[in-house]
Amino acid sequence: MVNRAPIKALAFDVFGTVVDWRSGIARDAAPVLARLNRSDIDPHVFADGWRKRYQPALEEVRSGRRPFVILDTLHREALEDLLRHHRIDPAAIDDATLDDLTHAWHRLDPWPDSVEGLTRLKTRFPIVTLSNGNIALMLDMARRAGLPWDAILGAEVSRVYKPLPESYLATARLLAIDPSELCLVAAHHSDLAAARAAGLQTAYVDRPHEYGGRAAPDADAAQDWDVSVGSLTQLADELCR
């Protein structure tokens, strides 16, 4: 952190950094797949397939090919595409079931260190979300998981999806601080690389189980981040001295 501006706020990526999306989606998909008599589909593979559709859906908005829509909408569309991929007709499933499964993204569990780490970090810094998740999603997740955000910011507020530079710069503007005074906390090297390019400070949190133990798809984007830790409690140890 040598020659860096003092950190005035921490902004957090959420999916994978603060919460375990893969286990949560698999948990909620399993009974639906069972009711469909599709025991051949591994719920964790189903979760991976859903997540795989995430960035292509965002890119349609980032590129300007489609107007801004919230992540809940993109998740529902991706779910229907994933079902068709597995030769399941979404039209044969009632809307209540599809809506509930889409909202599995609202019910993700935090990593074991997340609540304690965030609570400790909050004693020193404002802590906000900088997520592609929409406000209702982030709010439901926070209330269920006990995530003590000071504010829910991100794509629905800025109307821009990461990793476009404006997503990071808008967050700094909303907090009335310089980008160099904002630190992004994330488990994804590509997210941190984009934040650094926009002038933010960077804190990497290693989440080796995000992809079930497999290497992260953006592992080749790793850099020498300002801080690198193995948990949010370790980040609190580093920043709350």
Q: Is 80 exceeded by the pLDDT of residue 218?
A: no
pLDDT at 26: 98
User: Which residue from 134, 168, 147 is spatially nearest to 9, judged by alpha carbons?
Assistant: 168
Q: Is 90 exceeded by the pLDDT of residue 119?
A: yes
pLDDT at 216: 78
pLDDT at 1: 46
* β-bridge partners, 151: 128
Structure tokens at 193: 């690389």
pLDDT > 70 fraction of the chain, expressed in percent and rounded: 99
CB 202 within 8 Å of CB 221: no
Across residues 174-203, what is the average pLDDT?
A: 98
| Residue 154: other Cβ atoms inside 10 A | 28
The predicted model scores a pTM of 0.95
pLDDT tens-place string over residues 126-165: 999 999 999 999 999 999 999 999 999 999 999 999 999 9
DSSP reduced 3-state for 39: coil
Q: Please name the residues in contact with 218: beta carbons below 8 A apart, sequence gap of 6 or more.
A: 188, 189, 190
Structure tokens at 160: 């821009």
CB 180 within 8 Å of CB 206: no
pLDDT tens-place string over residues 39-91: 999 999 999 999 999 999 999 999 999 999 999 999 999 999 999 999 999 99
CB 105 within 8 Å of CB 21: yes
| Nearest-angstrom CA–CA distance, 117 and 133 | 21
pLDDT at 222: 87
Across residues 29-44, what is the average pLDDT?
A: 96
| Nearest-angstrom CA–CA distance, 131 and 167 | 9
Tell me the average pLDDT of the chain. 96
| Nearest-angstrom CA–CA distance, 203 and 4 | 13
DSSP reduced 3-state for 205: strand
pLDDT at 2: 54
Assign 112 a pLDDT band (cuts: 50, 70, 90).
very high
| Nearest-angstrom CA–CA distance, 189 and 217 | 9
Assign 241 a pLDDT band (cuts: 50, 70, 90).
confident
| Nearest-angstrom CA–CA distance, 10 and 130 | 9
The C-alpha R_g of the chain, in whole angstroms, comes to: 18
DSSP state of 34: H
CB 71 within 8 Å of CB 160: no
